[in-house]
Each structure stands twice: as structure tokens, then as C-alpha cells.
Amino acid sequence: MSLSCDQLDSMLPDLFSGDLHAADEEAAAEHLATCNHCRVTVSDLELVGDLGRRHGKLELLPIEAKVRIRALLEES
Amino acid sequence: MLDEDRSATTDALFDELADGVYTLAARLLRDRHLAEDVVQETFLAAYRNLVSGDGPIAAWIYRIGYRKAIEAHRRRREEPGDPAVLARSVTRVAASAEHEVVRGELIATLDHAIDELSQPLRVVFVLRDIEGLNTGDTAAALAVSESAVKMRLLRARKELRKNLREYL
């Protein structure tokens, strides 16, 4: 089955969550092998997720707040 | 659950999840002081309601944290003239500017772009791509369907892509 770009786009939510069925995954791979536009789009969107994982800031709760909250938990 | 078991469980959960809940609240509220309050309220509520069982406890804690953050956001919205809130906001902006000088341009741009996302997209991006929760736990934490999480993650990445285009 040959996918259109719109069909590929509708598969992206499942593609990025790793939930595509095998047949759809194969069809997506086939489309991406021949469509430069979609290949760049998918690559960019994967990279954005990767940037989030590598550079997205995980805030650290300040140590004094940790101590204060832990004491409250022990009292309660 | 025995009191000592409950205390040990809560301690372990606090160690594992406090920074994650703080990140979610800080990203949602853009105010670190309020985010600390949210963490405190979240774990006090979790401690009071903790029961034994094998449920997805991390998702449950995040769900409490998300609700507490939304409550804090609504309370703050009702008091726009509060000078303490304004002072905290100014402090945050100054701290943010200082960070941007120190950190790389890409990271600062990413940080800013995440803040620019609408709240529903921002929360999903933070939980899925920054904190690494899976789709099911994110859906449980936010009380939305898994397909909504997947759609919001895609929309978040598409919006971020526009703002990060020169780096991709």
C-alpha cells in the first residue's frame, strides 16, 4: 500500500509513541524511503523530542524545601 | 497500611518523584515558590490518602501534583494585583535572563519555546519528553485519553519545531 503524505501525517501520533501496527509501520517506512518532505519532518520531530530529553530542564526542588517538606510529612 | 510502612513508602516516593512534580509545577506555573508549595501540598495529600496496592503510583502522584498546580494557577489568577506575586515574577525573569547568558543559545531557545506552548501541550511535552513518562502514565496523570496525549505530544513537537527551525 502506498501512503499519501496526509496518511503518513495521521500516523505520527502512534509512530512517536511506538504504537504503530507492524503493517502500518512497514507502509510508513516505505513512504519515508521515497518522500523527502515527510522524511525531514519526521526526523525534525524526533529531534525535537530528543532535545527535550537531553536538554529539557528538569528542575531540582531546592534542598531547604526538601528538608522542610520531609519534616512536615513526618509530623503528619 | 501500617504507619511505619506508610512513612517509608512516602519517603521513597518523595525521593523519586519530588523533582518531577516540582518540574511539572514550575513549568506550569512559571513560579518556583508556588511550585514548592505545590510539591508540599501534593505529598501531604498523597501521605493522607496512601493505600497499599499495585496501581501506577507515580501517575497517581503526578495527577495530584497536576491538580494542585491547576488550583494554584486559578488562585493566582484571582489575585492579579498581589505585589508579592509581582515581586516573585520579576525575580524569576531576572534569574531567567541570567541563565540565558550562562547556558547555550539552543538550550535557552528550547526553554523559552517550551514556555510559549499552550498549557495542555506544555504539560504533555514536559511529562513525556522531559520527564520520560510513558503514554499511559501521562494519560492517567492528566486524566485524559492516551490518544489525546499522543496528539498533544505531536502538536507540541510541531510548534517547537517552528521555533527551533534554525537549529534543526
Residue B23 maps to which CATH number?
Answer: 1.10.1740.10
B93 part of a folded domain:
no
Domain count, chain A: 1
Domain count, chain B: 2
**Predicted complex ipTM:** 0.86
- Domain, as residue range, for B130: 103-168
How confident is the model at residue B93, as a pLDDT?
45
pLDDT at B27: 87
Partner-chain contact B39 A68, CB within 8 Å: no
Tell me: do B110 and B73 sit in the same domain: no
Q: For the beta carbon of residue B148, count every other beta carbon within 10 angstroms.
A: 16
Q: What is the pLDDT of residue B6?
A: 66
- Which residues lie closer than 8 Å to B26 by C-beta, 6 or more apart? A59, B32, B35
Q: Would B96 be classed as within a structural domain?
A: no
B26 & B62 share domain:
yes
- Which pLDDT does position B57 carry in this prediction? 83
* Domain region containing A64: 5-75
B88 within some domain: no
Q: Which chain B residues are closer than 8 Å to A52 by Cβ?
A: 110, 114, 125, 129-130, 160
Write out chain B residues lying below 8 Å of A72, CB-based. 40, 44
Q: Flag if B43 and A65 touch (Cβ within 8 Å).
A: no
List phi, psi (to 5°) of B79.
-130, 65
Domain annotation covers residue B62: yes
For residue B18, the chain A residue with the least C-alpha distance is A61
pLDDT at B56: 73
Q: Are residues B58 and B111 in the same domain?
A: no
What pLDDT does residue B100 have?
46
From first to last of the 168 residues of chain B, give the pLDDT tens digit: 556 666 677 788 899 899 999 999 998 888 889 999 999 999 999 888 775 444 578 888 999 999 999 898 888 766 544 444 444 444 444 455 444 443 477 778 888 899 999 999 999 999 999 998 999 999 999 999 999 999 999 999 999 999 988 777
Q: Which among B7, B19, B135 has CB closest to A17?
A: B135
CB-CB neighbours of B82 under 10 Å: 11
Phi-psi region of B143 (alpha: psi -120 to 50; beta: other; left: phi over 0): left
**Which residue type, as a one-letter code, is found at position B136?**
G
Query: pLDDT tens track of chain A, all 76 residues?
Result: 589 999 999 999 999 999 999 999 999 999 999 999 999 999 999 989 988 888 777 788 999 999 999 999 888 7
The residue among B31, B47, B81 that closes a domain is B81
